[in-house]
Structure 1
Amino acid sequence: MSLEMLQNVWIVLIAVLWIGYFVLEGFDFGVGILLPVVAKNEAERRTVLTTLGPVWDGNEVWLLTAGGAMFAAFPEWYATLFSGFYLALFLILVALIVRGVSFEFRSKRSNPTWRKRWDLAIVISSFLPALLWGVAFANIVAGVPMEPNPAGGSLFTGNLFTLLNPYGLLGGLVTLTLFVTHGAIFLALKTEGEIRVRANKIAGQVGLVAAVLAVLFGVWTQLAHSNNTIVSVVFLTVAVVSWVGALAANRLGREGWAFIASAITMLGVVAFLFACLFPNVMPSSTIAEATLTIRNASSTEYTLTVMTWVAVILTPVVLVYQSWTYWVFRKRLSPSQIPNPEHGALDLPHEVNA
């Protein structure tokens, strides 16, 4: 393949990796945020956390892979983004670390105060990434102040508060409400009893808020920032129709179909953002010459060729393994299956998770 074709292939593959991350880690964040809302006692809290136990760490691998692919395929984009958005991404990284530690540490002691503090840490560390990822992607699409770097690439000339503009904050609220609804639908799919009822109700309520915010954000993005009007409209339509289907299926108690439709919505949202952005990867809002595209930010043809072969060989293996994991742990959970509330939230016998 030519260099231009390889560049096109890799921007699509990176979009696919971000789609996987938003679909899988999205419901992770939603479940974490909803923990104190849907769970009213220790047995219910342990049930909620156990729905994530076998999958949450695997879901985060999509973020590592997406970051690694950006670094290898488009190093100038990676360097500008991760240096310019350093504080926002650092907050996300700290939140992800605290979140992982919280899942493990809350089960080390049965003291209610101990567990309540770790539960609060789970909520906060799920809330921050859910909000900040939307802020980051909105600013990437809209463009940020940059200037050419004499050493190559571009330099971000703003700060964290530059990112907290009305459009960026709206993007953050969109991902936050979408993830909360996605997580509620997942909980309704994976649990029984009162947790399922509460999650189903929350999905319907927050889903309507997400729909309003998403329409406002989508129209704003389409009118002001889309570089590919027809393609972006198609993906925006897919996201809207799928979201309506998800809310309708959730209302009818068809959680499986609701989750599939919700996942398609995540796909549509990420594809919409990348379609609006292409062929740029990081536009400059101040100096046009500083805009990074897939042409001036990419690696060499040889590097992209080697990466393509690695992706062709290993990606199917990863997908099969992760699909198998979800299949094995597909059954619903209920508080009645928790044998001893004094034990850890994730330390359940295999027959409960199977």
Structure 2
Amino acid sequence: MELVDVWFVLIAVLWTGYLCLEGFDFGVGMLLPAVARDEHDRQVALGTIGPVWDGNEVWLLVAGGATFAAFPEWYASLFSGFYLAFLLLLVALILRGIALEYRAKEPRWAPVLDRILTGSSLAAALLVGVALSNIVRGVPLDADHEFTGTLLTLLNPYALLGGVTLVLVFALHGAVFLALKTDGPVRERSAAVAASAGLLAVPAGGVFLVWTLLDGAPLWALAPVAVAALGLVLATVLVARGREGWSFTATTVAIVAVAVTLFGSLYPDVLPSTIDPAFSLNVVNAASTPYTLTIMTWVAGIFTPIVLGYQAWTFWVFRRRLTRADHGAPAELAGGAS
């Protein structure tokens, strides 16, 4: 395997990690009004992602940095063509961070910040789905690899369906995560929301993945598509039976399978051209020099295990369930199993 192929796989892995980890963060933010009835419930729900959400966002930053270093032509065409969409995504992520960090510091603004958190989480998930869908489907690139469309070009039916599908999958992923990480009323409501989200995510995901297959995906992509569909169905069934751990595993496997389908369908291109396939960017004409890729491979080989170990340790430290009693609720209001 050439280094360009290695780095394409590594970037796909970084995006997959981002979708799996930041996915439940977005889901928690989107579902906050549905699972929390008062301030104690909101503190319980947000406490599940408080120690990890900013670390989960690092996966997106590293994916962008790796794209810049390994495939500068891909980075240039992508970030210039998707400029307005990425600007909106950046604004959503900034507002989400402000809402998470400042609601405890300014209690008077907590209701407003909670609405901002919900809206920005939904918007960010939608924009990520639209961006990934356009990368896989292709965009109008000319012979100089320059984007010739507009923002409306990116809002095509396939991309919009991909965005809506990702929102629903993240809602299911986040609801299952909340049911896994909490106890009492928040856990009960999260399980109920997960069942409803699953009923919407399964058909939406099925249509999107079938469309991807019919749009020229390789035959082998049938396998991860089947795994993704089965994962979403099992997650919905398992969370209803109180098996939150297995349900969360199922949603994670489904997201990984979706990422494998999308990036596997994309390869060897990194940004197809809908004007002429000859204008497409691929792992060869978009890549950095072999010397650059060699240095990056050594750096990634040294530091990636360290980062993964630290993040795994963080999740282990904050592994227990949270209840209302953890956030100062009276004992008689804590609810749920002890």
TM-score, scaled to structure 2: 0.95
Q: Determine whether 1:262 maps to 2:251.
A: yes
- Partner of residue 212, structure 1: 203
Conserved? CA contact 1:229–1:276, under 8 Å: no
Shift of 1:340: 7.0
- Report SS of the residue matched to 2:321: coil
* Correspondence for 1:346: none
Q: 1:59 corresponds to which residue?
A: 56
Q: 2:182 aligns with which of 178, 186, 191?
A: 191
Aligned residue type for 1:167:
Y
Deviation at 1:247, TM superposition (A): 1.7
Structure 1 letter corresponding to 2:190: A
Structure 1 position 309, deviation (Å)? 1.0
* 1:323 alignment counterpart: 312
User: Residue 229 of structure 1 is aligned with which of 219, 224, 230?
Assistant: 219
Alignment-mate amino acid for residue 86 of structure 1: Y
Per mean C-alpha deviation after superposition, the further-off stretch among 132-141 and 23-32 is 132-141
Shift of 1:38: 0.5
Letter in 1 for 2:146: L
Q: Give the whole-Å Cα distance in 1 for the aligned partners of 2:2 and 2:158.
A: 33
Instruction: Please tell me the residue identity of whatever aligns with 2:206.
Output: V
Match of 1:287 in 2: 276
Q: Pick the aligned partner of 2:303 from 304, 314, 325.
A: 314
Aligned with 1:148: secondary structure?
coil
Residue of structure 1 equivalent to 2:113: 118
Deviation at 1:289, TM superposition (A): 2.5
8 Å CA contact retained: 1:142, 1:225? no
**Counterpart for residue 249 of structure 1:** 238
1:19 pairs with 10, 16, 19, which one?
A: 16
- Counterpart position of 1:68: 65
Does structure 2 retain, via aligned residues, the 8 Å contact 1:18–1:63? Answer: yes
Cα distance in 2 between the residues matched to 1:20 and 1:65: 11
1:139 pairs with one of 119, 134, 140:
134
What do you get for the CA RMSD once the two structures are aligned?
1.2
C-alpha distance after superposition, 1:17-71 (max 9, x if no partner): 0010000000000000001110010111111111111000000000001101111
Secondary structure in 2 matching 1:281: strand
Whole-Å separation in 1 of the counterparts to 2:107 and 2:94: 22
2:254 aligned with 1:274, yes or no?
Answer: no
Identical positions, percent: 53
Q: Is the 8 A contact 2:29 2:118 kept in 1?
A: yes
Aligned-partner Cα distance in 2 for 1:45–1:155: 46
Contact persistence 1:188–1:195 (CA under 8 A): yes
Give the deviation of 1:229 after TM superposition: 2.2
Structure 2 residue 160 is the aligned partner of structure 1 residue 169: yes
What amino acid does structure 1 have at the position aligned with 2:264?
A
State the aligned residue count: 330
Which residue is equivalent to 2:335? none
CA shift, 1:124, in A, is 1.0
Q: Which amino acid aligns with 1:136?
A: A
Q: Which runs of 5+ in 2 are unaligned?
A: 331-338
The one-letter amino acid of 1:126's match is S
* 2:287 aligned residue (298, 319, 328): 298
Residue 141 of structure 1 contacts residue 225 of structure 1 at CA under 8 Å; is this kept in 2?
no
**Matched residues in 1 for 2:106 and 2:262: separation?**
44
CA distance in 2, matches of 1:54, 1:23: 16
Q: In 2, distance between residues paired with 1:306 and 1:236? A: 35
Moved over 2 A (4+): none
Given that 2:201 and 2:232 are in contact with CA atoms closer than 8 Å, whether structure 1 keeps it comes out as: no
**CA–CA distance in structure 2, aligned partners of residues 11 and 229 of structure 1:** 20
Instruction: Select the residue among 26, 32, 36 that pairs with 1:35.
Output: 32
Amino acid across the alignment from 1:236:
V
1:232-275 per-residue CA deviation (whole Å, 9 max, x = no partner) reads: 22221221222222222112111011111111111111111001
Query: Secondary structure at 2:249's aligned position in 1?
Result: helix
**Aligned residue identity for 1:219:** V
Counterpart position of 2:327: 338
AA at the equivalent of 1:290: F
Q: Deviations over 1:71-125 (max 9, x none)?
A: 11111001100110011111111111111111111112332xx111000110111
Q: Which amino acid aligns with 2:138?
A: G
Superposed CA offset, 1:138-197 (max 9, x none): 111111111022xxxx11111111111111110001100000100000000011111111
Instruction: Say if 1:141 and 1:282, in contact at 8 Å, map to a contact too.
Output: yes
> Structure 1, unaligned stretches of length 5 or more?
342-354
Query: Is the partner of 2:28 in helix, strand or coil?
Result: helix
3-state secondary structure, aligned to 1:156: coil
Aligned partner of 1:107 in structure 2 is 104
Contact kept, 8 Å, 2:172 with 2:198, in 1: the verdict is yes
